[in-house]
Amino acid sequence: RLLFGLVLLPQLQSACPNILIFLCCLLSSVPSISTETKYVSLLANNHTSRNNNAAAKHLIERYYHQLTEGCGNESCSNSWCASSVGFNRMDNNAAAVKALELYKVNAKLCDPHPSKKGTASAYLESNAHSNSACSNRKLNHKDVNSVRDNFKDVNYLTEEKVYEILEICGEKEDYSPLIRVIGRVFSSAEGLVQSFRKSKPHTKEELKSLQGKDEDKDEDEKEAAACSATAMEEDSPTSSSSRLGEGSSGENDVQKLAPDEVSVDIEAVRRVYERLLSNEKIEAAFLNALVYLSPNVECDLTYHNVYSRDPNYLNLFVIVMENSNLHSPEYLEIALPQFCKAMSKLPLAAQAKLARLWAHYSAEQIRRMVETFQQLITYKVISNEFNSRNLVNDDDAVVAATKCLKIIYYANVLGGDLDVEHNEEEDEEPIPESSELTLQELLGEERRNKKGPRVDPLETELGIRTNDCRRPLVPFEEFVNEPLNEVLEMDKDYTFFKVETENKFSFMTCPFILNAVTKNLGLYYDNRIRMYSERRITVLYSLVQGQQLNPYLRLKVRRDHIIDDALVRLEMIAMENPADLKKQLYVEFEGEQGVDEGGVSKEFFQLVVEEIFNPDIGMFTYDEGTKLFWFNPSSFENEGQYTLIGIVLGLAIYNNCILDVHFPMVVYRKLMGKKGTFRDLADANPVLYQSLKELLEYEGNVEDDMMITFQISQTDLFGNPLMYDLRENGDKIPVTNENRKEFVAQYADYMLNKSVEKQFKAFRRGFHMVTNESPLKYLFRPEEIELLICGSRNLDFLALEETTEYDGGYNRDSRIIKEFWETLHSFGEEQKRLFLQFTTGTDRAPVGGLGKLKMIIAKNGPDTDRLPTSHTCFNVLLLPEYSSKEKLRERLLKAITYAKGFGML
């Protein structure tokens, strides 16, 4: 077994950093291996007893740490100490071999220096004589005081014990004993797990027995028992990870705890940190202990399944995360990345418990933890040069910190203002699937995500969704890391997202860290790949079955009858083969020569939206106060019309087109599966919201003063009143101070849900026909869906000027270009929107603002009377070199004002 371990030494060293020490210890206790291994033979001949083997183990470990870390004394003269001047550094393998040689010749061994930041040597020194310290079962008073002065018997900490040691160190003005204790406990997973436990209330029988005991005798017995336990643990060959969870007390503690509780006293930990972190030397002990602790914890969680045996293991992470200095620069290089790697190995149940626990924290505490992981991610991103060859996805520290940030994210959601009850019911009839086989099925592969987009496992474990949170503890925007978004290669990341391999991490699985622009790019890749897949399927069917080749979703429409032509064609496609809706859209206006490379589709959507949302049609009502549309509950249009409108909305997202629609936010929340509530009336119907709010806040007698019943009235298209009972016989039930909350909730439910139930269900059904297999719901929140559909309302033309490119002989310093931007900036808001419509096909800015719009201004010949023209498919403005600024303004205004139709130049 030993030889097998030596052969696999390089691989084992990467998996377990302490494997060299383990091998050294193993060598010290093996009787013999071969005549060629002289050091092992010497050790075997000189150390035959169990106690001697333990002592040899500790000495070899001390030699090893002296060679790799040093004693900490800057003026050390020991030539075999890493702290001495001129010492030649060696790798871990050479240090292990040299440690055996030094042990053989009984070489000089340095004493750990008090200023040494590392605590490993002190830890080894304190354990080297643990057997002799506990050899006598009954200690006299002097021996007990000596043990207490050195605190070598302290294997775990309590708040009282920390203050006791701190007081003694303060009297002597020497904090090295406390530093050693912290180093020993905080570098040991077992010691940290047992530390700062909540005090248990004693039972009546325990109190009676305690009253009859002699206090001094009891104290001596406790000291002896502790020493005995320490000696047994030192002699035991099992690892700390295997010992964790064996005690029945730990298991019993966990059984009594709630799902959002742990056995550690968090308030006590905070008080201890507050007292100790002000001391720089003590703070350094926490830092170096974490460096020593993290690899062992990672190994325990990866290979030993330690959490399933002892759920109290979670205490370790709770205690470390309470350190308010984790985000300081000293931790960012080594300590925090290693700890994040260990924390990212926690099983799903442990992550969920941490999220539930941290959900009870304040917004300031959540923000501190968010900043801790965000600073690590930013530091790693800025300090490295990531590109298409060196992907940020391959940086273990960034990936681990992002996984840890996900736990905080869901804690932030759980701790916010949740609404888990008002969920929309699923459609009774499933969305019809294509009768044709998918590309994967044609190729004999299993179809991925057949039931829709994926759901985050942690979200499922916690039983909540991001959309359930009305207002988080910390704004969602604080979880977005802009430097990461700038270096992320989204094409590669999307590939990892779809393949779902264990070896490659995709940041799309943590969409909270991505901004809307990056997520929109990921959605664009998903839509395009789906379009290409549908195109290839069509080609395969045309070859195998002789069907007509139709790789696009073709719509041929007349401008004067655009609604009739488009909706009839889409209705036929939805009935015959809904999968055709996921083909790339190709629009042709009858009698026009324009070729659709994107620009014709943009104008098609713009014209359709203008027609559909015309109040004269009666499908939607328009509020002059809010400038928003709402479903008309008394519309004469059938459900099929609303289904087709939903299809149009889904097609716009699918084909990356921006629509000029004006819905209240509750529409996008309902599309994401949430019902409208009283709070949604604030933007959907602010007048009604204010009235109901005043009703809730009214301090007088509601029944006598207002005389309201549970019957409400509405008006139809023709102004006729319609009565509706919120409850049975509502006209006979008065609204009182006691039932007014129920009245308000039912009123809002009727206005936002019940009154438009048929219309909205049909609308949502059409929308999902296009987006049901898209990662849309997984990636975006409702407010981001609105941004995706409607674009940005902020038109920053200065940002557009900065990003515009030039072609055909123009450049930024050309006279005509300078005059063009001066003219454009002098336009009013409406004229600027007309220019955008003329150049890009839409008067809205894309996600991220006009700075994300890639516009090109190309030279279109010398001075002429011809108007400027544009290629809306590619956002290209063809601008002749007009002789004067006045002529430029006149020609440009005429072009953008009377722009309609497509033609070939």
| Cβ pair 338, 397 in contact under 8 A | no
Three-class DSSP category at 488 = coil
Picking from 336, 341, 334, 317, the residue whose alpha carbon sits closest to that of residue 326 is 336
Calpha distance 698→694 (Å, rounded)? 6
How far is the CA of 171 from the CAs of 164, 175, 429, in angstroms? Answer: 11, 10, 78
Give strand pairing partners of 674.
423
Biggest CA–CA distance in the chain, Å, is: 111
Residue 284: count of CB within 10 angstroms of its CB: 19
Looking at the annotation, which residues are catalytic?
A: 873
Q: Give, rounded to a whole angstrom, the gap between the first and last alpha carbons of the chain.
A: 81
Q: Is 859 exposed, middle or buried (0-12, 13-18, 19+ CB in 10 A)?
A: middle
E strands, 790-835, in order: 805-807
Contacts 24+ apart (CB under 8 A), 139-142: 139/220, 139/223, 139/224, 139/227
Q: What angle do CA 323, 328, 329 make, to 5 degrees?
A: 145
Calpha distance 14→309 (Å, rounded)? 25
How far is the CA of 459 from the CAs of 191, 343, 776, in angstroms? Answer: 32, 18, 16
Calpha distance 898→756 (Å, rounded)? 39
For residues 454-492, one letter each, b for 16 or more C-beta atoms within 10 angstroms of the residue's C-beta and e for the rest, the string is eebebbebbebbbbbbeebbbebeebbbebbbebbbbee
Pairing of strands 620-623, 585-589: unpaired
Please list, in sequence order, all residues whose beta carbon lies within 8 angstroms of the beta carbon of residue 393, skipping any fewer than 6 positions away.
Answer: 399, 489, 492, 493, 496, 504, 505, 506, 507
